[in-house]
Structures are given as C-alpha cells and as structure tokens.
Amino acid sequence: MRKQETDSFLDIIQRIKDGDVLLRNKFIDDYKPFILKCVYKLVGNKDNLTQSDEYSIALMAFNEALDAYDSDKNIKFISFSKEIIRRRIIDYIRSTKKNNITIPFSYFSENDNNFEEEYLYDVSSDYCSYYDTKEEIKNLEHEMNKYKMTIEELINSSPKHRDTRVLCLNIAKIIAEDEALFRKFEEKKTLPYNELQKHVNLCRRTLEKNRKFIIAMVLVLKSDLDVLKKYIFDTIGR
C-alpha cells in the first residue's frame, strides 16, 4: 500500500500545509467529485458545470480550506471545506446579483455522458458522508498502526459469524469502559489478556484469535469517529 494511503488523514493535510505541492494537487484532484457535488447542490443543473465560474471558485475555496483548516477546532475537514465552498459561492452569487437563483434537483441528460454525469446523476448520493467515512478510516488506520495493524489485516481477520462479532464488540466495550483495562491496553499496545480474563469467561486462545478485531473496536469506541461508530452499531448491534 502506498504511503499516502497509510498515513492518517490529518498527517496528509499537515504535509500539504507544510508545502508538499504534489500531494496538494493530488489531494485536490482526488476530491474533485466532492467539490463538484458541493457546487451542484448550490447552483443546480448548469451547462458545462466544470467550466463554470462557480466550480473554479469552489476549487480555490477547497484549496483555501486546506490552508485554513485547524484540527484543534474539533471539526472534520470535509465539513469545514464544504462550508468554505458554500460561503465563497454564495459571496460570488451575491456579488453578481444572482440572488434569485434556484437549486433544482433534476437529473442530467442521459446523453450527457461526461464527468459531471458520472458524479451528479445520482442525486440521492451523499458525497459528504462518503468522504467523512474515508477520512475516518484513514484516522482509524493511523491509530491501528500503533498496534502493528493495518486495515487489510483487520478485514482478513474479522469474524465471519455475527455472534462472534457481537461477542468481540462486547469485550471491546468492557475494555473501553474500564479505566484500568484501557490503561493496560494503551500501555501494552495489545489486549490485556490476564486482566481481561477476570472479566470474561473466555480462554486466551479465543481472545488471541480475535485480537485485531477487538483492538479495532476499542479504538473506534474510544474515538470521535462517529460514522464508523454508527456503522458498527447498525451492523453488529448495540
């Protein structure tokens, strides 16, 4: 896996802020579908949207968001950049006296098989949620790296049966909610087997077999990764 894919989302943004021009250009290029979707939601079905002033302004606004973003403000970059894009386009609309603009949600022509259609034809899609999830996965993998784990390893080692996943999630909750257990978890960078066995009636072999999945669940539970938390509880259960 390429380094950009294994770095945390915040690490990538920091490298961009530090002057990595190539990474900045690639990052903006990767997020063009998201940027285009933001423009479409504000101005609607407009001819040659990617050639419009609004799209150019949105690209500049996204670039501005990269420079202005502060992770200490406790807001996700995607939400922050979306708001910057929205403000800059609204400012532009006001400055050109297009205050009466409407925001239609009609489909593009079926014959208009181009970049715009590919990303805007499905008006029910939510690219903000998609990129929120992408951002959270990068941040989760950054934390997992501290425990010598990767996303691929997590996927390959995840329990196949729902009952086992529920059991693992419950074990993760025990660790996350017990201050002493969680402290051991952080110190050892693995499951606190001896201490944990006092809380659950499971042999060490079973715990070791599901170690990576349990660790990942603990990291999500103790984080602000709200999209992943919702996904876990929706698919595994509360």
Query: Hey, what are 112's tokens?
Result: 């208009």
Taking 60 as the threshold, does the pLDDT of residue 127 lie above it? no
Query: Can you state the angle between helices 179-188 and 162-177, rounded to 10 degrees?
Result: 100
* Per-residue pLDDT tens digits for 189-222: 999 999 998 888 888 888 999 999 999 999 999 9
Average pLDDT over residues 136-140: 83
> How would DSSP label each residue in the chain?
--HHHHS-HHHHHHHHHTT-HHHHHHHHHHTHHHHHHHHHHHH-S-TTGGGSHHHHHHHHHHHHHHHH--GGG---HHHHHHHHHHHHHHHHHHHTT-TT-----PPPPTT--SHHHHHHS-TT--HHHHHHHHHHHHHHHHHHHTTT--HHHHHHHS-SSHHHHHHHHHHHHHHHH-HHHHHHHHHHTS--HHHHTTTS---HHHHHHTHHHHHHHHHHHTS--HHHHHHHHHHT--
* Per-residue pLDDT tens digits for 80-91: 898 889 888 888
* Per-residue pLDDT tens digits for 6-58: 357 788 888 998 988 999 999 999 899 889 988 988 887 777 888 888 999 99
Average pLDDT over residues 89-113: 50
Q: Please report which confidence band the pLDDT of residue 97 belongs to, taking 50, 70 and 90 as the band edges.
A: low
Taking 90 as the threshold, does the pLDDT of residue 184 lie above it? yes
* Per-residue pLDDT tens digits for 155-171: 888 888 888 889 999 99
Whether the Cβ atoms of residue 85 and residue 62 lie closer than 8 Å to each other: yes
Q: Which residue in 174, 169, 212 sits closest to 195, CA to CA?
A: 174
Q: Please report which confidence band the pLDDT of residue 100 belongs to, taking 50, 70 and 90 as the band edges.
A: very low
Taking 50 as the threshold, does the pLDDT of residue 175 lie above it? yes
Please state whether the predicted TM-score (pTM) of the whole model is above 0.75. Answer: no
pLDDT, position 129 = 58
pLDDT, position 231 = 78
**Max CA distance (Å), the chain:** 70
**Average pLDDT score, the chain:** 79
Average pLDDT over residues 107-121: 36
pLDDT, position 161 = 86
pLDDT, position 232 = 82
